[in-house]
Amino acid sequence: MCAINPAHANFIDQATVTLITKNVYIDRNYIGEGVAQPASKEWAQGSMLNMNSGYTKGVIGTGLDVYAGLGFKLWGDAEHSRGTSMLPLDPITGKPESSFAEISATAKFKYAETELKYGTLFPKTPVVIASFSRALPQSYHGVQLVSKDIKNLKLEMTYLDQVNQRDSTNYEDIKLIPANGRFKPVSSDQLYYIGANYALNPQTEITLFHANFHDIYQQYYTGLNHSYPINDAMSLSTDFRYFRTLDEGKQLAGNIDNHHGNLVFGLSQNNHKLSAGYIHNSGDTAMPYLSSGETATYMDSWATDFLNKNEKAYTIRYDYNFKDYIPGLRVMTRYTYGKDINLDHIVGLENKELHEKELGFDLMYQIQTGMLKGLNFRGRYANYDNNHGVKPTFKSANETRFNIDYTWKFK
């Protein structure tokens, strides 16, 4: 039997292997008159294998992470698949592919509490978020440095040059989403960001980030999260997020000038939580963000983004945890209304009083015991309505989503 070199023992002993399966169904039925496509809907099965090594011993430890993804079409056709961003589409016929696969690796190095990674990255920051909301995830390629050597402080510097979208197996330049025709559909192979998270105490965290999307925009972010315990059963939370985004360099997407802020207060008591918030957009343009990704704004909306020029939105949300009766069962409902929307760049919508609203429900259940412990079921429904007509990207729709997720940990 071959002996393991002591310097490489942690590389294997501290390795982890996980398999994540995701069964995802999306059904977005458009309810407005004159829509070109009646619905966007697909059903797919995804599997993600993550093999993450430990670090070799020494002053600088080295390691390797490998990711492999495999997706299968369970249902989808050329008439309905466009717009779901879940399965690759044939560029000629528009039909979704029956299967798709991808594999990639990340080299990593560690000194004390500082890690350097190169290769496939799944960032989750206020300025760049890799989306995991489809059968396979969105990933980026680049280099990332994260340090936790200073107590209560996390520092991060990242450079990205390519993205692999949720419905693709190929890396490509990073794109700006042209939703509602706000900006030109441009791309760049250079995006970097630097940021810090500092915990003032267990109840308060401050976050600062700066991002530069080469020749397109630069973005500044300030965030504050605070939780105040009123008594043993009740607490008050505050969530403040502010983005300042400006055009940069050659201004490939055109003029960009946006202030976006949101302030949300939440009151929790035992199994209940009630949240209410205000969302504010100002400046000469809407807020830009990356294609097929998600934003770190407060709104986790499914059918729109509430980021139009001048838009002001009000939201109220209620969460309930059934832990005392059915452990693992949670429910959420939310209503958001946006007004003062400016879409003057779209013919026919000049100087119109535009608004949008969404009512959503979310039901989640996770098995707590037995062989299937950790199996997650999630059902979501949203009714989205606006008076924008059929020209903008976001159209009035009834949307239903179902997820069944499970994670196996082999090591």
Q: Which tens digits make up the pLDDT trace of 285-333? A: 999 999 987 899 987 788 899 999 999 999 999 999 999 999 999 999 9
Contact status, residue 20 vs residue 71, Cβ threshold 8 Å: no
Residue 6 scores a pLDDT above 80: no
Domain membership flag for residue 334? yes
Q: Give tens-digit pLDDT for 378-409.
A: 999 999 999 999 999 999 999 999 999 999 99
Contact status, residue 125 vs residue 156, Cβ threshold 8 Å: yes
pTM above 0.85, yes or no: yes
Please compute the mean of the pLDDT values over residues 224-240 and round it to a whole number.
97
Please compute the mean of the pLDDT values over residues 174-201 and round it to a whole number.
96
The mean predicted confidence, pLDDT, of the chain is 95
Domain membership flag for residue 1? no
Residue 379: CB atoms within 10 A of its CB come to 15
pLDDT of residue 5: 64
Q: Give tens-digit pLDDT for 10-29.
A: 888 889 999 999 999 999 99
CATH code, domain carrying 73 = 2.40.160.10
Please compute the mean of the pLDDT values over residues 340-359 and round it to a whole number.
96
**Angle ∠(94,384,304) on CA atoms, nearest 5:** 65
Classify each residue of 183-200 as buried b or exposed e, where b means 16 or more C-beta atoms within 10 Å of its C-beta: beebbbebbbbbbbbeee
Burial classification of residue 150, based on how many CB atoms lie within 10 Å of its CB (0-12 exposed, 13-18 middle, 19 or more buried): exposed
pLDDT of residue 34: 83
| pLDDT-above-90 percentage for the chain | 91
Selected residue with higher pLDDT from 51 and 3: 51
The confidence band for 339, taking pLDDT boundaries of 50, 70 and 90, is very high
Please compute the mean of the pLDDT values over residues 208-215 and round it to a whole number.
98
Domain residues for 245?
Answer: 6-409
Q: Which residue has the tokens 């055109």?
A: 254
pLDDT of residue 7: 60
Domain membership flag for residue 401? yes
The confidence band for 191, taking pLDDT boundaries of 50, 70 and 90, is very high
The confidence band for 2, taking pLDDT boundaries of 50, 70 and 90, is low
Burial classification of residue 408, based on how many CB atoms lie within 10 Å of its CB (0-12 exposed, 13-18 middle, 19 or more buried): exposed
The confidence band for 206, taking pLDDT boundaries of 50, 70 and 90, is very high
Please compute the mean of the pLDDT values over residues 46-70 and round it to a whole number.
96
The confidence band for 258, taking pLDDT boundaries of 50, 70 and 90, is very high
For the record, the structure tokens of 182 come out as 């706000």
Residue 1 scores a pLDDT above 80: no
Whole-angstrom CA distances from 146 to 15, 54, 212, 296, 391 are 20, 16, 18, 19, 43
pLDDT of residue 32: 79
Q: What is the DSSP letter of 375?
A: -
Cα 295 to its chain centre, rounded Å, is 6
Smallest CA-to-CA distance from 68 within 6, 124, 17, 9 is with 17
pLDDT of residue 4: 58
Domain membership flag for residue 149? yes
Domain membership flag for residue 357? yes
For the record, the structure tokens of 270 come out as 């035992």
Number of domain units in the chain: 1
Domain membership flag for residue 75? yes
Domain membership flag for residue 270? yes
Whole-angstrom distance, CA of residue 111 vs CA of residue 277? 42
pLDDT of residue 36: 84
Pairing of strands 272-282, 257-269: antiparallel
